[in-house]
Amino acid sequence: MAPVTGAERDPALGPVVVPADELQARISTLGKEITADYEGRPPLLVGVLKGAFMFMSDLARAIDLPVEFDFMAVSSYGSATRTSGVVRIIKDLDLDLTDRHVIIVEDIVDSGLTLAYLRRNLAHRGPASLEVCALLLKEGLQKSDPDIRYVGFRIPPEFVVGYGLDVAERYRNLADVVRYVGS
């Protein structure tokens, strides 16, 4: 069975922004970079749910080191296509970050508000290092430099779905990242 693309059968979906094969190729490269950078100090990957679950799964398999996982769920969107500006922790970490090499794994960085909040919150927990790996960075929306060490793709400031990204819990299972045009 071919991966779900959906763009050709759902009028709410526009053109493909990042095709599945390019996603996998870039994730492989990111895994190699992280493997080289963290040799001798296996990282703890902190996935931001729900959007980053597919990316984190593929990224972890591309890292040739022992890695551990933990997850946070935060929200600044609800079911809307624009951020509310208020970040809430819905599920916190289970593991202690003290003296750990932590990589926050984000699906997408829009304004950078959620990421800035996560960074401040996690930095107070005493990690040995704290970096960010984001699959997608929307260009031109951040008020300041988000300082992301690992970026998969820079994309236009459009609302996108697929590969874990959703609108109202729909479209996460698309193999590609696709522009959402609404219904």
Is the residue at 10 inside a domain?
A: no
Tell me, what's the pLDDT at 68? Answer: 96
Residue 36: alpha-carbon gap to chain centroid:
21
One of 21, 70, 94, 110 is an active-site residue; which one? 110
Segments of the chain with pLDDT less than 50: 1-3, 6, 80-81
Q: What CATH number does residue 146 fall under?
A: 3.40.50.2020
Q: What is the pLDDT of residue 139?
A: 85
Q: Residue 100: inside a domain, yes or no?
A: yes
| Domain membership flag for residue 24 | yes
CB of 15 within 8 A of CB of 39? no
Evaluate whether residue 109 is within a structural domain.
yes
How many domains is the chain built from? 1
Provide the mean pLDDT of the chain: 89
What per-residue confidence (pLDDT) applies to 112? 83
What length does the chain have?
183
Q: Is residue 145 among the annotated active site residues?
A: no
Domain boundaries, position 42 = 20-74+86-158
Q: What is the pLDDT of residue 2?
A: 43
Q: Is residue 39 part of a domain?
A: yes
Instruction: Tell me the C-alpha distance between 106 and 133, whole Å.
Output: 6
- Over residues 23-55, the pLDDT tens digits come to 999 999 999 999 999 999 999 999 999 999 999
What Rg, from alpha-carbon coordinates, does the chain have? 16
Sheet-wide strand order for 160-161: 13-18, 177-180, 160-161
d(CA 81, CA 159): 7
